[in-house]
């Protein structure tokens, strides 16, 4: 983000000051939590382009299995976090 900031101004502040301002304002940057994984993206794209109902059903099955696996993993993670507390 700092590099993008430097490109938009003629007299940029130092990276140390930039980080201090972000910390003072309690700002941070991270990946959005609503992003989907590459496998979900790939399966959804295959689903959009599939022509036969048989292929669509198979892709939907793989996608549902993948999402169930992810939900199970998140549930286990939540249990571990609660157990750690």
Alpha helices in 1-85 (DSSP H): 2-8, 15-24, 38-49, 53-84
- pLDDT over threshold 90, residue 35: no
Positive or negative: CA dihedral 28, 35, 37, 5: negative
Check residue 27 and give its pLDDT. 87
**Whole-structure pTM over 0.85, yes or no?**
no
* pLDDT of 64 over the 80 cut: yes
């Amino acid at each position: 983000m700092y590099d993008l900031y430097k490109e938009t101004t003629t007299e940029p502040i130092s990276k140390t000051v930039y980080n201090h301002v972000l910390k003072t304002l309690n700002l941070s940057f991270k990946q959005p939590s609503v992003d989907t994984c590459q496998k979900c993206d790939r399966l959804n794209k295959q689903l959009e382009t599939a022509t036969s109902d048989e292929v669509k059903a198979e892709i939907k099955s793989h996608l549902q299995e993948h999402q169930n696996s992810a939900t199970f993993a998140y549930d286990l993670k939540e249990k571990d976090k609660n157990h750690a507390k």
